[in-house]
Amino acid sequence: MKYYLSLGSNLGNRGKNLDQALSLLEDECVEIIQSSSVYETQPVDFPSQPWFYNQVVEIVTGRDPQDLLALVKRIEQKMGRIAQVQKGPRTIDIDILLAEDKVMHTKELKIPHPSLDRRNFVLIPFSEMAPETVHPILDQTIQSILEKSSDHSVVRKVKN
């Protein structure tokens, strides 16, 4: 199954944290198909914290969405993520954005990610990599959603 994931880090060596998360995914037989550039992004919900590095990746895995969620939570834990303040600083954050055209709504997992259409730190790297991907609920491309975004937070490319 094809997925799009968002990765973010604002503690420690942010770029190295993103690379390590991708490596740990690959160690679990997750194939990284393509990756966006890395962007430095202004914190949105909890502004008094360090800026993030963010990236979006397209992956393929045989795991179902619940199994993939369990895997990314294990990776976050292995990398030292501690839930102290909701939306606060973290070594790594991995979110499932889309799972092909699936729509899921459980207590643990919502696909598409409920904030996907309101977050430039996700929309900008996503549109760089896969602008024609269609949001299964909004029935709009990622590029179209980005063009209508009301998010004005700073998102700047740091490396390809």
Domains of the chain: 2-159 (3.30.70.560)
Answer yes or no: is pLDDT of 3 > 70: yes
Q: Tell me the average pLDDT across 44-48.
A: 82
Residue with tokens 């549109």: 127
Answer yes or no: is pLDDT of 18 > 90: yes
Q: Which of 56, 60, 68 is nearest to 2 (CA)?
A: 60
Q: Which of 125, 152, 130 is nearest to 38 (CA)?
A: 125
Look at residue 47 in the predicted model and tell me its pLDDT: 80
Q: Tell me the average pLDDT across 51-75.
A: 97
Which one is predicted more confidently, 76 or 45?
76
Q: Which residues of 34-59 are buried (b: 16+ CB within 10 A; e: fewer)?
A: ebbebbbbebeeeeeeeebbbbbbbb
Mean pLDDT in the chain?
94
Cα 50 from Cα 129, distance rounded (Å)? 25
Answer yes or no: is pLDDT of 130 > 70: yes
Q: Tell me the average pLDDT across 65-87.
A: 87
Helix axes 14-27, 65-78, angle to 10 degrees: 130
Which positions ≥6 away from 89 have C-beta within 8 Å? Answer: 10, 11, 49, 50
Answer yes or no: is pLDDT of 84 > 70: no
What residues are labeled active site? 81, 90, 93, 95
Given pLDDT bands bounded at 50, 70 and 90, which one contains residue 85? low
Q: Which of 21, 20, 28 is nearest to 5 (CA)?
A: 21
Given pLDDT bands bounded at 50, 70 and 90, which one contains residue 93? very high
